[in-house]
Structures are given as structure tokens and as C-alpha cells.
Amino acid sequence: MPTPARVVFLPEEDAPLAVEQVELPDPGPLQVVVRQFASGICHSQLHQMHNPRPSDQVLGHEATGEVVAIGSEVTNVAVGDMVFVTWVPRDPSVASRPVEEIVVERPNGRQATTRNVFTWADHTIADEKYIVKVPQDTRRDVTSIIGCAVLTGSGAVYNTAAVREGDSVAIFGVGGVGLSAVVAASVVKADPIIAVDLDDEKLEFAKTFGATHGVNAGGGDAIEQIKALTAGEEGVTTSFGEPVSGVDFAFDCIGREVTMGQILRAVRPGVLGAGGGGTAVLVGVPQTGLQFDQLDMMGLLINEKRYIGSIGGSCRPDRDFPMFLAWSEDGALDLDAMVTERFKISQINEATAALEQGEIFGRAIMEFDD
């Protein structure tokens, strides 16, 4: 039978988000209906809100909930299971399988769609490929950010870049994703772990998650500050006369033009005949294009630097979510500290305004009433 749900809708036209009571359909053969306890409020939803769209949209892509109905062919979860809802296919066996488009009908007769999942709702319906079973005693609130913030930031460090003990790391932007990157770097014992931001308070906050240094990019040239912290032995240069300084890995968790360029300049040069240079990793959703000058490109070439992207932290949720939960249980991943703001579904416009104005210190979540 249909499931009553309160859902946040983004209208096609420029208008505030609307919270409406609807009925979700019975699940199709490979679909799952989830009663949700909490959802993350991700910065990428702001991009959806500001960009043109072909129809009304439903939003959100990370949540913790409980299965209330399953389709006839669903085998990975059962009714009553505690689950995470995420936007990354749970394992390679289902990654390329096409999914049935989710369409939610509004009370006014208009239809809203989503690319894969929606979690800004007290109940959701999704393909089973985006539903990951977790232990029944999993926390219902702060764990909701594992499905995107933790997955994206920690995964970029742990999976995409495969940072190892002793590697030097710089992380640009220490919101929820950046803090998750700091945590992963700390778990693998990177050193130093340099947090880069424009807010001294955020930089100090990042140190509680494992950052060893903070660089305020508004208080001087961030690249020069990073190079000073990573300078090699005096007088030692590369084959092309460059000082050996910079980090092994630099992560842009913002996606702005300035930070996308800075991460390439922040990584160390290679030494011809001895080894390649550092790796710049784009993690944040690009908000603009980027044009490198000839000097940057020459540096990329002769110093054998690398510039790569990381989508969803190269994660396999069935494999990686248990690891992230273990980090949380061990205290390495302090989700209670990372979640700094909580909102009800009725406050969603307040929440997105606070996010846009930079008032969310770590990560915000939306909690749904029992």
C-alpha cells in the first residue's frame, strides 16, 4: 500500500523549497521504501537550487533509516533492517544496472524527479543499489552524513589517493567533507596534515580531527605557507633547480577556481630520474571552469605532478561503510563533533540559507520526528 511521506520539493521555477504531504507508491521489484531518521544537508544541493532544471526536483542523498517495504526481487535488505541511503551504488555487481526513474507526484499534480535518490523526506523510495544494510544498533542521527560527507572526504584520501603513513597532505576547505578528509589522513598517519581555510576558528576545529597545522589563505599566500611547512633540506633542489617543497597530496574540497588552481601548486615537484611529484585531487564539485597558465603546465610536465578527480571518494559502500562505522566507534571519526547543526524538515529553508551564508561550521543534518 502507498506510504504517507513529508517531502521537500524544489520547484522548477525560482521559489522557496516546499514541504508537502504526499503518498509514495508501492515499491517496484527492485525498490525499497525507507522510513528515515535523519538526513545530511549537503552543499551540493545548493548547486541544484541555483542551476536550471527541467522539472520540479526532490533533494538529498545521504540518510539513516529503517526499511518498511521491499520489492519482490530485493534480496540485500529486509523489512526492519537499519540502512544507510546513499547516492553511490553499493557494490560493483550492481553499479552499471539501470534503475527506474523515481517520480514523486505533488499535491498540485506536478511531478518531481531525482537523478538517483532523495533523502530530504521522512520516508523515501529508492532502488536497492543505493541501500546499504548496517548493524541494528547504528546511531540514528549523526551517522546520516556517512553516505556523502564521510564517503566523499575520507574516501578521497583513503581510496582515490591511497595516502599512506608519513605522506604529507594539504586539505583545502574544512567543512564536513574536508573534515572527513582530515580524519582519514589522521587514521593512516599522514604527516603533516595541513588544513587550509579562511576562518581561524575552523582551522582550530580541524585540529581536533587530526590536522597538525592550519593555514589561513586570507592571511597570506597559502602556497608559500604550505611550502614553508614542507621545506626539504636547505640547498637541495630538483634537477631543474626548484626547491623540494610542497605536499605529497593536496585535496580541494571546495571546487572554486582559486582552490582548483592552488592544489596543483601546493604539491611537491618530482626529481628527474628519482621519482614523480605530488598529486592534486579535486573533490569538491567544480563551480566554474579553470585555465592553467604555461608555468603551471610546465610544472605539471617537468615535475611529473598529477591532477586527478575523486567522485564519491572512489567508495564501495558495502565495503567501506563498515570501516567508517568502526572509525566512529573507535573515536577516530567523531560524528557528534562534526555535526554542528540540526534542523527539522519544516526548517529546510532556514537550513539552506545558513549553509549558503557559511554559517554551518561542520555538517548540518535534518532530523525527522519519530
SS (H, E, C) 269-335: CCECCCECCCEEEECCCCCCCCCCCHHHHHHHHHCCCEEEECCHHHCCHHHHHHHHHHHHHHCCCCH
Rounded to an integer, the average pLDDT of 109-130 is: 96
CB atoms within 10 A of CB 224: 12
pLDDT tens figures, 313-322: 999 999 999 9
pLDDT tens figures, 135-151: 999 999 999 999 999 99
In the block, residue with C-alpha cell 634537477: 239
- In contact, 121 and 7? CB cutoff 8 Å: yes
Residue 279 has pLDDT above 90, yes or no: yes
In this prediction the pTM is 0.94
Element (H, E) at 104: strand 102-105
Q: How many residues does the chain have?
A: 370
Nearest residue to 201 via CA among 351, 43, 343, 359 = 359
* Segment among 152-166, 323-337, 353-367 with least mean pLDDT: 353-367
Can you spell out the DSSP letters for 212-245?
SEEEETTSS-HHHHHHHHT--STT-B-TTS-B--
* Segment among 84-93, 160-169, 288-297 with least mean pLDDT: 288-297
**CATH pick for 3-147+335-367 out of 3.90.180.10, 3.20.20.80, 3.20.20.70, 3.10.20.30:** 3.90.180.10
Query: Which pLDDT band holds residue 235 (cuts at 50, 70, 90)?
Result: low
- In contact, 206 and 214? CB cutoff 8 Å: yes
| Fold exhibited by the domain 150-312 | Rossmann fold (3.40.50)
What pLDDT does residue 288 have?
87
Tell me the β-bridge partners of 282: 252, 309
> Pairing mode, if any, of strands 193-197 and 111-114?
unpaired
What pLDDT does residue 5 have?
98
Nearest residue to 76 via CA among 55, 54, 93, 64 = 93
* Position with higher pLDDT, 239 vs 330: 330
Residue 209 CA: distances (Å) to CA of 58, 187, 193, 216: 33, 10, 10, 17
- 192: cis peptide before it, omega within 30°? yes
What pLDDT does residue 184 have?
98
Amino acid letter, 10: L
Nearest residue to 42 via CA among 105, 118, 102 = 118
Instruction: Please give the grid coordinates belonging to residue 180.
Output: 572527513
Q: Encode 15-48 in three state secondary structure.
A: CCCEEEEEEECCCCCCEEEEEEEEEEECCHHHHH
What pLDDT does residue 232 have?
72
Can you spell out the DSSP letters for 119-185?
-SBSEEEEEGGGEEE--TTS-SSGGGGGGTHHHHHHHIIIIIS---TT--EEEE--SHHHHHHHHHH
Residue 359 has pLDDT above 70, yes or no: yes
d(CA 36, CA 123): 5
Residue 370 has pLDDT above 70, yes or no: no
d(CA 233, CA 301): 24
Q: Where are the domains of the chain?
A: 3-147+335-367, 150-312
